[in-house]
Amino acid sequence: MNGATIQDLTIDHATITSTSGNVGALVGAAYGTCTITNCVVKNSSVTGGSNLTGGLIGYSGTAVSKCAVIDTTVSGTEYVGGLIAQVGKAVTECYTCMLP
């Protein structure tokens, strides 16, 4: 994804499964002039079959701010991250958590 703006979005109870890489509940790869702000993934499952699997984004080459991944399981084979698997730009005011 290049040049898009995604903001104020919640993804709830999603199941994402892929046999390839660059997997995320929101987007597999974001780069260039993308803007991702105030997005939440919750109560979900993200499974990647290759590298770069993240709860929100697989690969991020753009700035990400005020985003969260809550009560979501993330699994893959290589380069796995709760929020973002691989980061190339600033990530600010973001968090991941599992609630009791």
pLDDT over 80 (residue 100):
no
Question: How many whole angstroms separate alpha carbon 12 and alpha carbon 51?
Answer: 24
Residues 73, 98 contacting (CB under 8 angstroms)? no
How much is the average pLDDT of 27-38? 94
Average the pLDDT over each of 4-8, 31-35, 71-75 and give the range with the smallest value: 31-35
Q: Work out the mean pLDDT of the chain and round it to a whole number.
A: 95
Mean pLDDT to the nearest integer, 33-53: 95
Give the predicted TM-score (pTM) of the model.
0.93
Q: What sections of 18-67 are H helices per DSSP?
A: none
pLDDT at 1: 87
- pLDDT at residue number 38: 98
Could you tell me the two tokens for 32? 């260039």
Is 36 a residue whose pLDDT tops 90? yes
